[in-house]
Amino acid sequence: MQQQGPVTFDYDFDKVLAALVYFASKPDRVINFDRNKALSLLFLADKAHLLRYGEPIFGDYYRALPHGVVPQRTLQRLNKMAEGRANGQDIERLTEAFRVQKVKGHGYPILIPRIAPDLDALSELEIQILDEVVALYGGKSFDELKGLVHPPAWYKAWASKPRDSRVAPLSYEDLFEGDSQDVKVARARMIEDFALRRACSPHGVRRSTLL
């Protein structure tokens, strides 16, 4: 079945918020949990789930920005929260879930949770991925994560952008790296699932949608 257009997924803010609070609720294991660290951990969790199971956790729209691969919809919401623009249910929920705290010597405010994470919004496999991300990357600074948020997909997208642009779209297909058979199978499964969902749904794709 032929693929039509890039593979994308429905954005699930419930899962995003649950993961953000989950990360933030572990300050002994997730250091300096500011906006950039939050976006990096979300990307790394989404990518790990994508490579393993053929679909992401959060379904965000990823872009290449100078400081790395960024989940665009979540970036917009975190920026609006930081600016005090609580216009929209998602921004209100973020504001209720977090307070920001300035830390001496740190460039960005730290996100401090006001609530417990809603683990019902996440599957057991998704929580397992989050725990792996905490164990591997929670203790690293954003500078130490820069190599991981500038994967080959970032360089491919960045090289193809207009010269005067500071942002470039990035496809889920390009996030599959390496030659391992498991990665090839997961990529093929994602594309096949996208095509099947698009063909079978009279209103378009439910979990996967065209941009």
180-190 tens-digit pLDDT: 555 666 666 66
Confidence of residue 144 (pLDDT cuts 50, 70, 90): very high
Q: What tokens does 138 get?
A: 């929670």
Task: Name the residue with higher pLDDT: 41 or 209.
Answer: 41
pLDDT at 145: 94
Give CA–CA dist 173/46, Å, rounded: 13
Among 11-25, 58-72, 78-92, 102-116, the range of highest mean pLDDT: 11-25
The mean per-residue pLDDT over the stretch 4-20 comes to: 89
**116-125, 170-179, 197-206, range with the lowest pLDDT:** 197-206
Taking residue 23's Cβ as centre, other Cβ atoms within 10 Å add up to 25
Cα 40–109–43 angle (5° rounding)?
10
Between CA 140 and CA 118 the distance in angstroms is 25
The residue ranking higher by pLDDT, 9 or 193, is: 9
pLDDT of residue 186: 66
State the Cα–Cα distance between residues 110 and 98, nearest whole angstrom.
9
The token pair at 139 is 């203790």
pLDDT digits (tens, 9 = 90+) for 117-137: 999 999 999 999 999 999 999
Q: Which tens digit of pLDDT belongs to each residue from 79-116?
A: 999 888 767 899 999 999 999 998 887 778 899 999 99
> 168 - beta bridge partners?
64
**Per-residue model confidence (pLDDT) at position 162:** 86
Mean pLDDT, rounded, for 139-150: 92
Mean pLDDT, the chain, as a whole number?
A: 85
